[in-house]
Amino acid sequence: MSGLRELYQEVILDHSKAPRNYGKLEAPTGASHGHNPLCGDTVAIYLRIKDGVVEDIRFDGRGCAISMASASMMTEILKGRSVADVKEMFERFHGLVTTGHEACEGGFETADLDKLVVLAGVREFPMRVKCATLAWHTMKAALAGEADEVSTE
């Protein structure tokens, strides 16, 4: 087993078994719900924006290890970021899992990119891309104040 594959498994398992920022957020300024109808994953994203910065972000839901790990990593990385940075990071992450590592150049600090690169392998499995991006699409809807449920379909 390659080193990256081992790291992938270790990081995914760690975040899915002990998700960071899990649970509802009191008094969010934005919230949205997402659903992947093909596999049944569901996620709710709650965020609090203050002075153009993500002051706090949390999630809850249920789903596969990739879905939950992606949501957990996303909340860790986005907390404390400006709204403009968050929007850019969404685009970079989406590029990472759909087209490859090159799409992320310049979009993340090294430590953030290192954390998210472990999810890049999902691009080989289109059904898993939807798992990895569900929380990110739901976060984007929460940021925009969209009330409709986000679906990966």
pLDDT digits (tens, 9 = 90+) for 72-101: 999 999 999 999 999 988 988 888 888 875
**pLDDT in the model for residue 63:** 94
Higher pLDDT, 105 or 64: 64
| Chain CA centroid to CA 130, Å | 11
Alpha helices in 37-125 (DSSP H): 65-78, 83-98, 110-117
- What's the mean pLDDT in 33-59? 96
Give the C-alpha separation, 140 to 94, whole Å. 12
- Domains of the chain, by residue range, sit at 3-151
CATH number of 3-151: 3.90.1010.10
Give the C-alpha separation, 93 to 140, whole Å. 12
87 CB contacts (<8 Å, ≥6 apart)? 140, 143
Contact 97, 107 (CB under 8 A): no
**pLDDT in the model for residue 117:** 79
pLDDT digits (tens, 9 = 90+) for 100-151: 755 555 555 656 666 787 788 888 888 889 999 999 999 999 999 887 899 8
* Predicted structure pTM score: 0.89
